[in-house]
A and B are shown apart, each in its own frame.
Chain A
Amino acid sequence: GNSVTQMEGPVTLSEEAFLTINCTYTATGYPSLFWYVQYPGEGLQLLLKATKADDKGSNKGFEATYRKETTSFHLEKGSVQVSDSAVYFCALSESGSYIPTFGRGTSLIVHP
């Protein structure tokens, strides 16, 4: 079956530091990959996505590249802000499915 593995958190950084949150996946087919973000007290929101190998998704300064050879989709941001403090979820979805498989989430805490 499909699975998504994320690095355990919390990840604690100072403002303007470089961020990497690792995500690897196992899938039977050729899935689309997603990063969702959950701010405190809110539901998940789609942050970015990539639909095929070597695609780069980007949004709000965050980027992730679909690496088929390493089955990875690591989230990066060059300079984090306090407002980026949230829980980040990696997810995959097979093209024929309505239901994504989510990772367990990684909490990011950014200090001023």
Chain B
Amino acid sequence: DAEITQSPRHKITETGRQVTLACHQTWNHNNMFWYRQDLGHGLRLIHYSYGVHDTNKGEVSDGYSVSRSNTEDLPLTLESAASSQTSVYFCASSEQRGGYGYTFGSGTRLTVV
């Protein structure tokens, strides 16, 4: 069965370190998205990609970057981790416009100490 997997599930890192969160999907979806989820803020879009070599900034992109070298993967990099980036991160993918078939991964809980 097709799936979307995130790794690691939990990560603790120190302030100032570079961290990369992985997202891999086997749906063959062109569109992939990264969100962060924080209490009181709901889901906020960080970056998204509509296909290989395409990346776009979301509403909270500062301090984050992504690259898309193939259809399956969209890794999220925190260039220099800050305590404000402690959060739960979700990757999602979709194929159709209109929000249909929007599939989420199980999330990565990142703690920056």
Shortest distance between the CB of A52 and any CB in chain B (Å): 11
Kindly identify, within residues 63 to 112 of chain A, every residue whose CB is under 8 Å from any CB belonging to chain B.
89, 91-100, 102-105
Interface size on B, residues (CB 8 A): 22
Kindly list chain A residues whose C-beta atoms are within 8 Å of the C-beta of B96: 98
- Bound-complex Cα distance A102 to B99 (A): 11
Decide if A100 touches B102 in the complex (CB within 8 Å).
yes
A43/B102 contact (C-beta < 8 A), A99-B33, A102-B42, A104-B42 known: no
Picked from A41, A44, A46, A98, the residue with its CB within 8 Å of the CB of B50 is A98
Decide if A105 touches B97 in the complex (CB within 8 Å).
no
Decide if A32 touches B99 in the complex (CB within 8 Å).
yes
Is chain A's binding surface mostly helix, strand, loop or mixed?
loop
A94/B105 contact (C-beta < 8 A), A44-B90, A89-B42, A103-B42 known: no
Kindly identify, within residues 83 to 102 of chain B, every residue whose CB is under 8 Å from any CB belonging to chain A.
90, 92, 94, 96-100, 102
- Bound-complex Cα distance A34 to B99 (A): 9
Residue of A nearest to B31 (CB): A98
- Bound-complex Cα distance A91 to B94 (A): 15
Q: Which residues from chain A sit less than 8 Å from chain B, CB to CB?
A: 32, 34, 41-46, 49, 51, 89, 91-100, 102-105
